[in-house]
């Protein structure tokens, strides 16, 4: 039989009617399509009421159905209140930290308003063996920035089956999968070999602060002030980002500014001195200091302020650092961040297609 994801969920329901919160639907050999419901279902007393997007769906009876880029399943029961399951998934991932960090961070964002419009797919519920977190909806085939998934598994066999399930991934597109476990790479290698898909792997160190409450007060010169980034800064951010240089990278950075917390420092004239972003996986992203302003402690201050803000919101303080970025590694270690064992691997599938991103100079890594 075809393996299929049993749950697809994204934004938690804001409000549910009493009929949605109670009871389930009996199994039925015929499953009519209910009005306002994005997958077919049946109820004892007629069609189920409309479900908010992002509800957790129980076991499916057919292979996944992908209509707008998200993983969906047909189901035989109407879902109970989604927030209960969201909380259970968050708690389950918390018990698997730090290995589950990239997926856990995405679920934290989902459960707190889902600003990034993410979804999570698991192989089974509630005893899942593998989880993928990613953006909902369709994206251009060569947009590897939007086609970005984080992964965590308890059972590498379940993870392999999830990736191979019909409708889970578009293997003809450029997409990243990243995670802190070795199987994230080896499973992609095995499937890619069978499908004739090219891979490109980039390794990072992942740093996690065990107790951000111990961080020192940030120190800034009197002529440095906290500012705000705007869409007008996207071109500058893109030009200083090693992974930028095309239409998709600029759109991605613009979305980070609009959707997730960020910090920047300015001089009295409003000129940018440095900044730090965060992403949909709750990790620090694209920290940068203008070259002429380096050795002033600006990145140290940004790192402390970003960590305190994340900690105050109940988020982990972590990020991925390039293996050759010794300055950032030293800074984090001085501030008490701990480097996790092993590597975080970003696995890019179909890199040649990714480099075809519009606006990318020849040879630029997209």
Write the CATH number for 23: 3.40.630
Q: Is there a single domain that holds both residue 67 and residue 114?
A: yes
- Quick one: 59 and 156 in the same domain? yes
CATH number where 286 lies: 3.40.630.30
3-state secondary structure labels for all residues of the chain: CCCCCCEEECCCCCCCCHHHHCCCCCCCCCCCCCCCCCCCCCCCCCCCCCCCCCCCCCCCCCCCCCCCCCCCCCCCCCCCCHHHHHHHHHHHHHCCCCCCHHHHHHHHHHHCCCCCCEEEEECCCCCCCEEEEEECCCCCCCCCCCCEEEEEECCHHHHHHHHHCCCCCCCCCCEEEEECCHHHHHHHHHHHHHHCCCEEEEEEEEEECCCHHHCCCCCCCCCCEEECCCHHHHHHHHHCCCCCCCHHHHHHHHHHHHHCCEEEEECCCCCEEEEEEECCCCCEEEEEECHHHCCCCHHHHHHHHHHHHHHHCCCCCEEEEECCCHHHHHHHHHCCCEECCCCEEEEEECHHHHCCCCCCCCCCCC
Confidence of residue 210 (pLDDT cuts 50, 70, 90): very high
Is 162 within the bounds of a domain?
Answer: yes
What would the mean pLDDT of 134-151 be, rounded to a whole number? 95
- Residues 277 and 193 reside in one and the same domain: no
Using CA atoms, how far apart are residues 350 and 182, in angstroms rounded to an integer?
Answer: 20
- Considering the domain boundaries, does residue 36 fall inside one? yes
Mean pLDDT of the chain: 81
* pLDDT at position 289: 97
pLDDT of residue 357: 82
| pLDDT score of 361 | 56
Least confident of 50-59, 120-129, 132-141, 340-349: 50-59
In this structure, the answer to whether residues 216 and 198 fall within a common structural domain is no
Residue 359 forms part of a structural domain: no
Same domain, 59 and 184: yes
Mark which of 186, 204, 222 sits at the end of a domain: 204
Same domain, 55 and 121: yes
Taking Cα atoms as reference points, which of 324, 323, 325, 274 lies closest to residue 295?
Answer: 274
pLDDT of residue 12: 32
Listed range (73-87, 208-222, 318-332) with the worst mean pLDDT: 73-87
| Cα separation, 112 vs 227, whole angstroms | 25
CA nearest to 128, candidates 103, 111, 102: 103
pLDDT score recorded for residue 360:
66
- On the question of pLDDT at 250 being above 50, the answer is yes
Does 363 fall in a domain? no
Q: Is the same domain home to 220 and 261?
A: yes
Whether residue 331 lies inside any domain: the answer is yes
pLDDT one-digit tens code per residue, 32-75: 222 222 222 333 233 333 433 333 333 332 333 332 223 233 22
Total domains in the chain come to 2
Decide if pLDDT at 107 tops 70.
yes
Q: Are residues 31 and 108 in the same domain?
A: yes
Which range of 35-44, 316-325, 356-365 scores highest in mean pLDDT? It is 316-325
Residues 182 and 234 in one domain: no
- Is residue 351, in this structure, part of any structural domain at all? no
Banded model confidence at residue 83, pLDDT cuts 50, 70, 90: low
Q: What is the percent of the chain where pLDDT is above 70? A: 75
Do 188 and 302 sit in the same domain of this protein? no
pLDDT tens digit sequence for 147-159: 999 999 999 999 9
Boundary-marking domain end, from 179, 204, 229: 204
Tens digits of residue pLDDT in 273-292: 999 999 999 999 999 999 99
Q: Is residue 304 part of a domain?
A: yes
Average pLDDT over residues 170-178: 97
Residue where a domain terminates, one of 168, 187, 204: 204
pLDDT at 8: 41
Q: Are residues 23 and 159 in the same domain?
A: yes
**What's the rounded Cα separation, in Å, for the pair 247 and 168?**
26
Query: Does residue 73 sit in the same domain as residue 193?
Result: yes
- For residue 149, the enclosing domain spans 7-204
């Amino acid at each position: 039989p075809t393996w299929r994801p049993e749950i697809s969920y994204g934004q938690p329901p804001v409000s549910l009617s009493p009929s949605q919160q109670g009871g389930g639907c009996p199994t039925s050999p015929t499953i009519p399509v209910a009005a306002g419901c994005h997958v077919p279902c049946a109820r004892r007393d007629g069609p189920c009421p409309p479900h908010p997007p992002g509800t957790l769906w129980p076991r499916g009876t057919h292979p996944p159905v992908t209509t707008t880029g998200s993983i969906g399943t047909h189901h035989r029961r109407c879902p109970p209140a989604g927030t209960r399951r969201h909380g259970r998934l968050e708690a389950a991932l918390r018990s698997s930290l730090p290995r589950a960090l990239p997926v856990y961070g995405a679920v934290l964002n989902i459960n707190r308003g889902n600003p990034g419009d993410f979804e999570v797919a698991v192989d089974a519920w509630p005893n899942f063996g593998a989880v993928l977190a990613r953006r909902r909806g369709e994206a251009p085939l060569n947009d590897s920035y939007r086609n970005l998934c984080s992964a965590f598994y308890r059972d590498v066999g379940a993870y392999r089956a999830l990736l191979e399930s019909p409708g889970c991934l578009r293997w003809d597109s450029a997409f990243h999968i990243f995670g802190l476990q070795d199987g994230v790479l080896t499973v992609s290698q095995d499937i890619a070999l069978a499908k004739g898909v090219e891979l490109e792997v980039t390794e990072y160190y992942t740093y996690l602060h065990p107790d951000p409450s111990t961080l020192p007060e940030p120190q800034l010169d009197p002529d440095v002030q906290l500012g705000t980034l705007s869409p007008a800064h996207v071109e500058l951010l893109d030009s200083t980002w090693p992974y930028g240089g095309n239409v998709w990278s600029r759109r991605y950075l613009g979305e980070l500014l609009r959707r997730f917390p960020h910090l920047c420092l300015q001089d009295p004239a409003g000129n940018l001195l440095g900044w730090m972003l965060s992403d949909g996986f709750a990790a620090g992203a694209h920290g940068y200091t203008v070259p002429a302003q380096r050795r002033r402690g600006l990145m140290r201050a940004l790192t402390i302020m970003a960590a305190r803000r994340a900690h105050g919101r109940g988020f982990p303080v972590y990020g991925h650092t390039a293996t050759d970025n010794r300055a950032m590694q030293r800074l984090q270690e001085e501030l008490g961040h701990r480097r996790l064992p092993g590597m975080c691997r970003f696995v890019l599938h179909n890199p040649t297609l990714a480099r075809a991103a519009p606006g990318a100079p020849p040879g630029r890594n997209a």
